[in-house]
Chain A
């Protein structure tokens, strides 16, 4: 298994109890801000919320042959991005002088995140939280009907002097046959 995909509480890995209500309120506000920046394509502000070591991982979803196995392939990824790769290969395509030739982003797929069921737990590092949430992502390409992707997110969030920072995001997709205008999306 790709080590990063071994998340506590799932597939045999033990987990901690919930953190307090204050931590939940803080984490929820952080996730809401992060989605706001992404959905409104305020990418430079989004990047400020993200740690330099950020990794974004989405494993390939699979229908396994038994209910005990995870619904993804633990060795195989669909998305594997860093902060640098997102800035260079995703966000720069929206810049002036670039978007005219970035055919897939012009017009852009309109994205809307609906983030719920935020759960916060501590980790071995007292400054790092294990923050989980459910996400429903709606994508609208041009005049097409909206498309949906739902996933469970496993984030690590670090407390710093200047606020919370996203360290890592794993998104476990519910759908195995991906019917979304672009699979290239931050869940």
Chain B
């Protein structure tokens, strides 16, 4: 069978979480084709700053050259292929190879060849041996993306309506956001897609997987809500947006009526900036946000979360996190964790926001401990020879979905966040690429009424 069937029911082969052949095909057909996040601009603020990352599984250097341009360079010498840069980050104008000493400017150009006249002759043309680099590098809202496919659409076209939602998360402060220090990195025995799917908008797992977080006060209780404003109902309300190309987002709102937009968890001095920098429709996404998260296909996810009592009762905070996944094998994934902060916020609030992040959705946070167990066990359950031959169903939210009254939100927006429509959108894009159909899909409509 095909790995994904949409009729008569939506079925997905279990093989895709534990099959090395499929994994190799993904590297070629998905990671070589898609725009991939590599770094946040604030990590390489000054000329010469660099960080080392992977694009898919390929090791690259992301650096700011002497002219201030951002370069993504394959971390491998053009001579015999030695890895050029061994640190996680640093600052240098040149990269010198440890094997025979070829030296490259941080623009990628080969500048020095050891004993050149003796070994290669005076006429050796160094311009033929710049470091390899992807044909496309672009930045959106401080996010640096690169793409190996020369035919790829522009980053903005690729993101489509997702750009609008990313702006609500990253583009609302006067001085932007910056990365806190370096990203943390963890190695997990799970397929890379599990977390991408979860963060694409799975609001269905939260009450079960994260049940203790409710018990322990990390979700706003009725009394927390009453202190924040007029409570509008018993349940948090949610929406999901399908932005096409496999990009989706979930937005969950606190059940509050407020006379004007309220951004609980941010210090009030930032509220005016948020209202000024966003459009009214974007403010509607941000106001009374409980949690917003999404996945930019294939391996980049963002999360903005309001968590309560993260450092004792009444100490609430919002934080923003990015995660990136390197698909090392069908069952092994490196996760890179970026904590972000608004520039210019007070030290006191930053500390609270950081505690909120670290204790809930940080690499050692309570939510992650519970999520990880699910992701790892999906891959482990499909070590079986027979188990992989079955499929699983993905029909949540296929019945009776209601589009909200005109909100002015782009993409295909549906009320309710206990749904699997975002995972279907992710996997349909995955399937298109795996089947060799790289065409840009518009918002996926398969989730309507089927």
**A contact residues vs B (CB 8 Å cutoff):** 58, 60, 62-66, 73-82, 84-85, 88-89, 92-93, 98, 101-105, 144, 176-179, 182-185
Give the docked Cα–Cα distance between A89 and B213 (Å): 8
Which residues of A lie under 8 Å from residue B366 when comparing CB positions? 89, 93, 104, 184
Residues of B within 8 A of A74 (CB): 181
Binds A, one of B86-94, B191-199, B251-259, B435-443: B86-94
Question: Which B171-222 residues sit within 8 Å CB-CB of chain A?
Answer: 180-187, 189, 208-209, 211-212, 215-218
> Of A60, A80, A103, A177, which one neighbours B182 at CB under 8 angstroms?
A60
Q: Is the CB of B86 within 8 A of A79?
A: no
| Interface flag for B339 (CB, 8 Å) | yes
B364, A183: Cβ atoms closer than 8 Å: yes
Q: Tell me the complex Cα distance, A179–B272, Å.
A: 43
Q: Do residues B358 and A92 form an inter-chain contact, with CB atoms below 8 A?
A: no
- Determine the distance from Cα of A82 to Cα of B92 in the docked complex, in whole angstroms: 39
The closest CB in chain A to the CB of B184 belongs to A60
The verdict on A177 contacting B187 (CB below 8 Å), with A89-B366, A102-B370, A104-B373 known, is: yes
Q: Does B363 contact A (CB under 8 A)?
A: yes
For window 130-188 of chain B, which residues contact chain A by CB distance below 8 Å? 180-187
Contact check: which of A62, A82, A103, A104 meets B311 at CB < 8 Å?
A: A82
**A74 CA to B89 CA in the complex, in Å?**
14
B11 contacts the other chain (Cβ, under 8 Å)?
A: no
B354 touches A77 (CB 8 A): yes
A/B pair count, beta carbons within 8 Å: 109
B219 → A minimal CB distance (Å)? 13
Q: B182 contacts A78, CB within 8 Å?
A: no
Q: Which B residues touch A73, using CB under 8 A?
A: 181-182
How far is A117 from B70 in the complex, measured between Cα atoms in Å? 46
Contact A81 B359 (CB under 8 A): yes
The interface residues of chain B lying within 8 Å CB-to-CB of A105 are 369
Can you spell out 28 A-B residue pairs with CB atoms less than 8 angstroms apart?
A60-B184, A62-B89, A62-B182, A65-B87, A66-B90, A74-B181, A76-B339, A79-B358, A79-B362, A85-B355, A89-B216, A89-B218, A89-B359, A92-B212, A101-B208, A101-B212, A101-B215, A103-B370, A104-B373, A176-B185, A177-B186, A177-B187, A178-B184, A183-B364, A183-B368, A184-B365, A184-B368, A185-B364
Give Cα A101 to B208, complex, Å. 8
- Cα–Cα, bound, A182→B211 (Å): 18
Q: Are B87 and A63 in contact (CB under 8 A)?
A: yes
Most chain A Cβ neighbours within 10 Å, of B87, B181, B358: B181
At the interface, yes or no: B334 with Cβ under 8 Å from chain A?
A: yes
The 8 Å CB contact of A60, one of B92, B181, B216, B374, is B181
Please tell me if the beta carbons of A178 and B369 are within 8 angstroms of each other in the complex. Answer: no
* Beta-carbon nearest neighbor of A105 in chain B: B369
Q: Do residues A78 and B362 form an inter-chain contact, with CB atoms below 8 A?
A: yes
Cα A147 to Cα B123 in complex, Å, equals 54
Query: By the criterion CB–CB under 8 Å, are B90 and A178 in contact?
Result: no
Q: How far is the CA of A74 from the CA of B181 in the complex (A)?
A: 8
* CB neighbours of B216 from chain A (8 A): 88-89, 92-93
Closest residue of chain B to A143, judged by CB?
A: B380
Partner of B363 from A63, A78, A93, A101 at Cβ < 8 Å: A78
Name the residue of chain A whose CB is nearest to the CB of B183.
A60
Separation of A1 and B372 alpha carbons in the complex (Å): 31
Contacts of B215 in A (CB 8 A): 98, 101
Most buried by B among A82, A105, A184: A184
A177→B217 CA distance, assembly (Å): 31
- Does B312 sit within 8 A of A, measured CB to CB? yes
Write out the residue numbers on chain A whose beta carbons fall within 8 Å of the beta carbon of B369: 104-105, 182, 184
Closest to B50 in A: A65
A60 to chain B, nearest CB (A): 5
Name the A residues within 8 Å of B358 (CB-CB). 77-80
Contact B88 A62 (CB under 8 A): yes
- Chain A residues with Cβ under 8 A from B88's Cβ? 62-64, 176
Which A-B residue pairs are the 4 nearest by beta carbons?
A76-B181, A65-B90, A104-B369, A65-B87
18 further A-B contacts with Cβ under 8 Å, apart from A73-B182, A183-B363, are A60-B184, A63-B86, A63-B88, A76-B181, A76-B182, A79-B362, A80-B359, A82-B311, A89-B216, A93-B212, A101-B212, A104-B372, A104-B373, A177-B185, A177-B187, A178-B363, A182-B372, A184-B368
